Amino acid sequence: MPVRAVSLDLFDTLVDIHMDRLPLVEIAGRRIPSTYGLLHGASVHRHGLDFESFAATLGAVDRELRDAMQRRHVEVATLERFRELGRRLGHADDALARILTETHMAELEKHVTYLSHHAEVLKRLRGRARLAVCSNFSHTETARAVLERAGLLPLFDAVVISMDLGVRKPRPEIFRAALESLGAAPEETLHVGDDLEADVAGAAPLGLRTVWLTRRVADPAKRLAGYAGPKPAHTIADLAELESLLT
């Protein structure tokens, strides 16, 4: 069946995000890239905690939320993450959560890079298929801002972000939302992403044709060998290769 629609992951697919470039901070004797130091600096006037105490409290929140995200694939909005931190610090109002959300997202945006040819690739694809973003991310406003800055937002018929649904890939609900927004059947839709578990293992059981993008995968052969889920229907190293798959 001809391809009538394409859904694409956002980070490390349409744009690249470099989490390893975040500022280095020392937490419990380890130096790691993190926004924790910036978050502490933006909020210390509200709670008065030293950095180690602040990091320990935020770390406890993050471990609990990460467990829910990894086991049940529930999306926790960044604002809710910081609301929970605020509650534990005795600041239940939204003011602290909003300051921290803005600080965190502003820093992440600094470490997003854009691939100059992607806009032209998507313009050509759009002449042949409907396009949607289908991505895990905890702050929709930032996701859309990144797409806008990349010059890609106007090229999409729909933008489906996990924050808005409350669930993350590989949950089927997010793929179904993308299909509904595209008005397309699974068998006539390609889903493109860099993550085998989230993108390929999530989309394949619904009948979407899966495309694994390996541009930022360090060792694709090793990665695929250690993966037990459904194999991708196609493997590409660059989005430009998508054009040949729209038959």
Mean pLDDT per 10-residue interval, the chain, length 247 residues = 95 98 94 98 96 96 92 95 96 92 98 97 95 98 98 98 97 98 97 98 98 97 96 97 91
Out of 3.30.420.40, 3.40.50.1000, 3.40.50.2000, 3.30.200.20, select the CATH number for domain 5-16+114-245: 3.40.50.1000
Per-residue b or e along 2-12, where b marks 16 or more CB atoms closer than 10 Å to that residue's CB: ebbbbbbbbbb
User: Which sequence spans correspond to the domains of the chain?
Assistant: 5-16+114-245, 19-110
pLDDT for res 72: 93
pLDDT of residue 28: 86
Other C-beta atoms within 10 Å of 118: how many? 20
Cβ neighbours of 51 (radius 10 Å): 16
Residues 6+ away with beta carbon under 8 Å from 241: none
In this prediction, residue 193 carries a pLDDT of: 98
**What is the per-residue pLDDT for 3?**
95
From start to end of the chain, where are the E strands?
5-8, 15-17, 24-27, 30-33, 112-114, 130-135, 158-161, 189-193, 209-213, 234-236
Closest CA to 234 of 225, 246, 222: 246
Query: What pLDDT score was predicted for residue 99?
Result: 96
